[in-house]
Amino acid sequence: MLNRFLEGRIVIVALSLMVATVLASPTVIADEGEQLAWKYHCVTCHGINGMSRDARYPHIAGQNSLYLVSRLKYFRDEIEPGNQMNAQAAPLSDETIDILAEYFSKLAR
């Protein structure tokens, strides 16, 4: 009985390690930019692939990364009071802005 119990635990540990290996592989883990796009809700308005389905929100896929950086910093610094993007950009660090800009600039239009 004890042997079966230990064998069962060994199988569980082995399966857990296999699952962890698969989840940690580069093909499974999403690009950091994509993760940040979901975390900061960029995809809510601008679409999963940076192509909005609503004309109120601009397509940002394929935009120049320097342009995206400048716009996100513009919103973060609340240069245009009352813009809805100000609140979205407020928590973004310079590093996060750079990663998001690079990510969206590489998406195909």
CATH number of the domain residue 39 falls in: 1.10.760.10
CB 46 within 8 A of CB 58: yes
Domain count, the chain: 2
**pTM higher than 0.85 for the full model?**
no
Per-residue pLDDT of the chain (109 residues; tens, 9 = 90+): 656 655 656 656 555 555 555 454 443 345 999 999 999 999 999 999 999 999 999 999 999 999 999 999 999 999 999 999 999 999 999 999 999 999 999 998 8
Same domain, yes or no: 21 and 36: no
Do residues 20 and 47 share a domain? no
The amino acid occupying position 101 is: A
Looking at the fold, whether 20 and 41 belong to one and the same domain comes out as: no
Question: Which of 22, 20, 1, 2 has the alpha carbon at shortest distance from 12?
Answer: 20
- Whether 16 and 63 map to the same domain: the answer is no
Contact 37, 92 (CB under 8 A): no
